[in-house]
């Protein structure tokens, strides 16, 4: 594909000047090479990708060189821009463009690597849901869990992606605003949008956050209505849906793969499977500005000492807020817990990187020794 064939169709998929410049450079360097097409990954399943291009949606796998060059946490994911060599039935991805953002969590395999959930995302919608009026407090406590929502918000914060909370299923209760009042107070400084995928309540406001060329991602537990919200935004039924079990508030897995959909309004939305395990990935290189708990950070800035641990130091603004009730103990303790997890994960990642560097150094040393021995033998 030549540069002149870039069109509004790719711009509708989020082709910004940042990616256009990369494509210009890539195609100029491949003047005499086999032709490739540019596209954005819209679905990933078992090592195979669906890539939206000007030639339609192509199936592709990673080129062998990339399989060896890219670590598991650097391989393409939904939302990535790639260069594909078309083939029937399955083409090959030759290059993944540099990302503007990537949403990561700690890999669930217990390793010190990350798992990319989505790439080139502009806004995260953390979705939770209301329960029926007759549901018990234990069900509502499970569906509107502020501590779990804070984990999702921390995930977005570490990726430097703006986030807001979407409370779905407003139609299930007679007084939805009253039902979320305590929940709002538990998340100070966080925007909470009340919606209903069933009735359309709040959907106009949600849709306004996805202007043409903008990519959003829905995050949340199973059964909170992420797929239902996607269908409502699409104005058609594209994804299968299930509800939360009424007896215990637990969700059922229906979405099994991440998928990017182009909305009639011009924006894009990525639906994701429910995450049972969620440890935010700590990005040591990103300047995220604070802990992700804006109210705690603001209080800490008013402490007498810059290195205040908020325990028994004099002039501690955080402890003063705890005493007057303006800061909840549970919120502060969770902020501390997430920071401990972050520091532990950073240490593990540093240890892995040091180990990999040592392995590369040893391999290079063996290579040099072998070359020296071979040269001496030739002499």
Query: Is the same domain home to 244 and 365?
Result: no
Range of the domain at 325: 290-379
Which residue, of 70, 96, 122, is where some domain finishes? 96
Is 203 in contact with 232 (CB distance < 8 Å)?
Answer: yes
Question: How would residue 141 be classed by pLDDT, with cut points 50, 70 and 90?
Answer: low
- Top pLDDT among 137 and 74 is at 74
Question: Quick check: 40 pLDDT over 70?
Answer: yes
* pLDDT tens readout for residues 338-375: 888 888 888 877 666 666 666 666 777 776 777 667 76
224/252 Cα distance (integer angstroms)? 9
144 vs 274 pLDDT, higher one: 144
Query: Is 179 a domain residue?
Result: yes
CATH of the domain at 234: 3.40.50.300
Residue of 302, 270, 299, 248 whose CA lies nearest to 123: 270
For 256-267, the pLDDT digits (tens) are 688 999 999 899
The rounded percent of the chain whose pLDDT value lies above 90 is: 53
Q: Which of 176, 263, 280 is nearest to 219 (CA)?
A: 280
Residue 215, in any domain of the structure: yes
Alpha-helical regions (H) of the chain = 8-12, 17-29, 64-69, 137-143, 146-158, 176-179, 181-186, 203-208, 226-234, 294-300, 317-324, 329-378
pLDDT for residue 282: 74
Q: Which of 239, 271, 303 is the last residue of a domain?
A: 271
Query: Do 259 and 120 reside in the same domain of the chain?
Result: yes
Q: Is the confidence at residue 245, as pLDDT, over 50?
A: no
Q: Does a structural domain hold residue 285?
A: no
Greater pLDDT, 363 or 323: 323
pLDDT score recorded for residue 319: 93
Closest CA relative to residue 232, chosen from 272, 202, 193, 253: 202
What is the per-residue pLDDT for 22?
Answer: 93
Confidence of residue 1 (pLDDT cuts 50, 70, 90): very low
Domain identity same for 46 and 146: no
Q: For position 280, what pLDDT does the model report? A: 74
CA separation for the pair 158, 342 (Å, rounded): 10
Task: Tell me: pLDDT of 284 over 70.
Answer: no
Residue 276 domain-assigned (yes or no): no
Q: Are residues 81 and 17 in the same domain?
A: yes
297 and 356, same structural domain?
Answer: yes
We report the CATH number of the domain holding residue 337 as: 1.10.40.50
Q: What is the pLDDT of residues 25-37, one digit of tens each?
A: 888 887 777 789 9
Domain match, 12 and 113 both: no
Q: Which two tokens stand for residue 308?
A: 């205040």
Q: Assign 3-class secondary structure to 143-167.
A: HCCHHHHHHHHHHHHHCCCCEEEEE
Give the three-state DSSP class for 124: strand
Answer whether residue 263 is part of any domain. yes
Sequence-separated (6 or more) residues with CB below 8 Å from residue 122:
101, 161, 162, 214, 215, 216
In contact, 221 and 251? CB cutoff 8 Å: yes
| Residue 69 within a domain | yes
Do 91 and 200 lie in one domain? The reply is: no
Verify that 114 and 218 share a domain, yes or no: yes
Number of domains in the chain: 3
Where a domain ends, among 96, 119, 153? Answer: 96
Same-domain pairing of 135 and 234: yes
262: Cα separation from own chain's centroid: 18
- Please state whether beta strands 268-271 and 215-220 pair in parallel, antiparallel, or not at all (unpaired): parallel
| 9 and 92 part of one domain | yes
Residue 111: inside a domain: yes
**pTM for the full predicted model:** 0.83
Mean pLDDT (the chain, rounded) = 85
283 conformational bin, left if phi > 0, alpha if psi -120 to 50, beta if neither = beta
Q: pLDDT tier at 251 (50, 70, 90 boundaries)?
A: very low
Q: Kind and range of the H or E element at 117?
A: strand 114-119
Cis peptide bond N-terminal to 122, omega within 30: no
Judge if 112 and 240 occupy the same domain: yes
- Does the structure show a pLDDT above 70 at 238? no
pLDDT (0 to 100) of residue 246: 52
- Token couple for 175: 């007084």
Q: What is the CATH number for 30?
A: 2.40.50.140
Note whether residue 282 is domain-resident. Answer: no
Based on C-alpha coordinates, what's the Rg of the chain?
A: 24
Is the pLDDT confidence value at 23 over 70? Answer: yes
The verdict on 74 and 168 lying in the same domain is no
């Amino acid at each position: 594909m030549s540069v002149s064939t870039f069109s509004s169709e790719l711009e509708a998929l989020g082709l910004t000047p940042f990616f256009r410049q990369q494509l210009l450079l890539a195609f100029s360097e491949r003047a005499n090479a086999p032709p490739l097409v540019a596209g954005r990954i819209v679905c990933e399943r078992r090592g195979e990708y669906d890539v939206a291009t000007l030639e339609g949606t192509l199936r592709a796998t990673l080129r062998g060189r990339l399989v060896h060059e890219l670590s598991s946490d650097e391989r393409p994911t939904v939302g990535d821009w790639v260069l594909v060599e078309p083939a029937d039935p399955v083409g090959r991805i030759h290059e993944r463009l540099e990302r503007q953002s990537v949403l990561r969590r700690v890999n669930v395999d217990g390793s010190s690597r990350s798992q990319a959930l989505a790439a080139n995302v502009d806004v995260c919608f953390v979705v939770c849901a209301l329960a029926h009026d007759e549901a018990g407090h234990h069900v509502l406590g499970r569906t509107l869990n502020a501590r779990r929502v804070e984990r999702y918000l921390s995930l977005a914060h570490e990726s430097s992606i703006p986030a807001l909370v979407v409370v779905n299923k407003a139609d299930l209760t007679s007084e939805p605003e009253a039902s979320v009042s305590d929940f709002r107070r538990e998340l100070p400084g966080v925007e909470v949008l009340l919606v209903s995928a069933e009735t359309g309540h709040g959907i106009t406001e949600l849709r306004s956050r996805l202007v043409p060329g903008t990519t959003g991602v829905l995050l949340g537990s199973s059964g909170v209505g992420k797929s239902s919200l996607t269908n409502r935004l699409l104005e058609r039924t594209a994804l299968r849906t299930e509800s939360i079990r009424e007896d215990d508030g637990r969700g059922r897995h229906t979405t099994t793969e991440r998928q990017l959909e182009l909305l009639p309004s011009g924006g894009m939305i990525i639906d994701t499977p429910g995450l049972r395990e969620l440890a935010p990935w700590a990005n040591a290189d990103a300047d995220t500005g604070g802990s992700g708990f804006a109210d705690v950070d603001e209080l800490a800035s008013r402490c007498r000492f810059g290195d205040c641990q908020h325990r028994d130091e004099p002039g501690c603004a955080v402890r003063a807020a705890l005493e007057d009730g303006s800061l909840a103990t549970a919120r502060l303790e969770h902020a501390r817990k997430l920071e401990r997890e972050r520091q532990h994960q950073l240490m593990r990642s540093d240890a892995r990187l040091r180990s990999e560097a040592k392995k590369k150094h040893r391999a290079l040393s063996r290579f040099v020794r072998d070359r020296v021995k071979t040269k001496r033998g030739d002499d």
